[in-house]
Amino acid sequence: MKRIAFYLLLFSVHLMFAQSKHAITHEDMWLLKRVGTPAISPDGKWVVFSVLEPSYDSKEQINDLWIVPSDASAPPRKITAGKAAESSYSWSPDSRFIAFVAKRDGEEESQIYTLNLAQGGEAQKLTKLSGGASGPKWSPDGSKILFTSEVYPLCYADSTNKKMIEEKKKIKYKARVYTNFPIRNWDHWLDEKQTHVFVQSVHPDSMALNLFSNVAISKEAGFSFFSASWTPDSKHIVFAASTNNNTAAYQEPTSQLFSISISGGDANQITSSQENYENPDFSLDGNYLICIYSQNNNNKVYNQNRIVRFDWPSMKNKIILNSKLDRPIQSYSVAPNKLYLAVEDRGHNVIYTINISNSGLTKQSKESIGSYSNLSCSKTTPEIVVGNYESATMPPEVVRITEEKSHYSLSYFNKVKLSELELNPIEEIWFNSSRGKQIRSVLVKPAGFDASKKYPLLVLIHGGPAGAWLDNWSYRWNYQLLAKPGYILLATDFTGSTGYGEKFSQDIALDPFKGPGDEINEAAADAINRFAFIDGTKQAAGGASYGGHLANWLQATTSHYKCLISHAGLVNSISQWGTSDAIFNRETMNGGTPWSASKTWKEQNPFMYADQFKTPMLVTVGELDYRVPVNNSIENWHILQRQKVPSKLIVFPEENHWILKAENSRFFYQEVQAWLEKYLK
């Protein structure tokens, strides 16, 4: 009996510790496994996806492919091994093979491999191109794979492209020469290379054919490729591309659809309006071409994407399938007779279905929390649908979508670790602004929250401005980690945010900072009045990108925040226009060029109010950020130092617009939390 009592005591102690939870740390967050996009087999039986096992040492990270039966009859199992990452996986029509992209055995560029899942064995290398290969898609008849590769202009044969690569390496001088806009994109300088579409037989020792060898538009200065799809007969490719990307300095370039035979020849343009057409696909019966489109060059700061249908192959009878749905589409997948859409709606990505023939619209998902993404449909009847599902308390996992209960899990890689963490779900609150708009905010409480206590308020500002605070998991601004030290987190979807209708997103035009800034301040005041546990005397605010812009605007226009944080934020709208990788959309926002008569450039520019900067500010930026280049953060720092404002500048030499490296992320969060503690505790 004593022995039994002893083991019962041990069990009780073990249970007590097992049930205790702790607040999240950066290590907890960063080391959670990252589950990738699922791809369901055409027969609906299997789902392939990637899993990244992170490490603070990038050389120790593991990224492999896993497979799981779609009926959850067995747990996921790994089908590739090694530290070389696999990506861009695609099923063959007979559901026997997958094609994927990897860089193996000392390769300089990533290549395409195929893996026989029906018989097993090692993956076989398919491509051997000097420019690498990516984005494999099987032809409907299963005999070929289309993919893309980077090539120098007019180097249509791989031998020619390889020779050009070697010649470039021999050049002794280092110079970048441009005659056309743009010159940079996101975090890299643009060069002459273009993305071309290739087709290759899946038989061993076959050769890749560059389909753009005789395509006239690929020789134009403004050519830029976006996406491609097989036609139902496996004889042609439809692709989206721009022919006027070099006009981006003074207008919005257009993306049109083109068709080309895999036997060669020139491409035929099959759309011709001033609208954008991208992501082409086909209905399973082959009767319709489906794509995403949006309006263009209409003096709007934001145009919501829509999904359209054309008769195929005539390209007649253009029909907007989601005309009754005033929400942006995040992704779509084709099923028999219908489309599955992941749609952003007031802070959640939800699922809708659309009947392809009659545009019938149905909301599929029933969850009131979380967000869906990356939907993938089988080709069977009835269809089987999978996707990623996540929330503010759970990173993405793979789920099967069902009509009965929204979804059930196919993967659960982080279940045990998450069970050890105290994570609070988001709470949504709404208020009526002084401009008569209904404004939504997300509120997150810290671990160990006690309603009888008072907590400082951290106001978080999203980027974009065409963005929103979703019920999802983030590594850039993780709700849980930011709230952890003992803050109430408030994140507001101000005018200009997405998921509330196209007009709400467009209303930010000519009012980039004042209106949104007022709404952020009003949302904070509303939350303070509503919740007794918020200490209104201790407020801080911060954000990144457009959120950094707005943090700088708050610096210029109010002093009731104890401190501010601006990551990748503009302080001078004019110098941002002059150095960013994209400029024309900034003219649309401000009502003309910086030298025009538009008052917005001056009246809503933080730089013009530099004499009012008073609030202590942490300024951070990635040196490889070409969207909001480092000069704006340096200007901000100079103003703060000139005005004798307590401030700190942190520059990350290896980061772009986002902080992506593990140790840099850990340091960033440490600095943010130290800055907040200094002024709020």
Mean pLDDT of all residues in 251-263: 96
> What average pLDDT does range 422-434 have in this prediction?
97
The answer, yes or no, to whether residue 142 has pLDDT greater than 60, is yes
pLDDT in tens, 530-571: 999 999 999 999 999 999 999 999 999 999 999 999 999 999
Q: Is it the case that residue 121 has pLDDT exceeding 50?
A: yes
Residue 9 has pLDDT above 70, yes or no: no
Closest CA to 312 of 278, 283, 277, 276: 283
Which three-class secondary structure string do you get for 273-316?
CCCEEEEEEECCCCCEEEEEEECCCCCCCCCCCEEEEEECCCCC
User: For all residues of the chain together, what is the average pLDDT?
Assistant: 94
pLDDT class of 403 with cuts at 50, 70, 90 = confident
Higher-pLDDT residue of 43 and 367 is 43
d(Cα 296, Cα 276) in Å, to the nearest integer? 7
Residues above pLDDT 90, as percent of the chain: 91
| pLDDT at residue 19, rounded to an integer | 59
Is the pLDDT at 8 greater than 50, yes or no? no
CB 359 within 8 A of CB 374: no
Residue 2 has pLDDT above 60, yes or no: no
- Counts for the chain of helices (H) and strands (E), in that order: 13, 39
Q: Could you tell me which of 314, 225, 215, 209 has the C-alpha nearest to residue 263? A: 209
Q: What is the gyration radius of the CA atoms in the chain, in angstroms?
A: 26
pLDDT at 106: 81
pLDDT of residue 354: 96
Distance between CA 139 and CA 236 in Å, rounded?
A: 10
Angle between helices 514-530 and 546-557 (to 10 degrees): 80
pLDDT higher than 70, residue 1: no
Residue 666, class by beta-carbon neighbours within 10 Å (0-12 exposed, 13-18 middle, 19+ buried)?
middle
Burial 555-580 (b: 16+ CB within 10 A, else e): bbbbeebbbbbbbbbbbbbbbbbebb
Looking at residue 561, what is its pLDDT? 98
- Per-residue pLDDT at 5 exceeds 70: no
Determine the Cα–Cα distance for residues 456 and 669; give it in Å rounded to an integer.
18
pLDDT in tens, 268-281: 999 988 899 999 99
Phi-psi region of 510 (alpha: psi -120 to 50; beta: other; left: phi over 0): left
Other C-beta atoms closer than 10 Å to the C-beta of 184 total 18
**425 within 8 A of 461, measured Cβ to Cβ:** no
> Does residue 433 have a pLDDT over 60?
yes
Q: Enter the pTM of the model.
A: 0.94
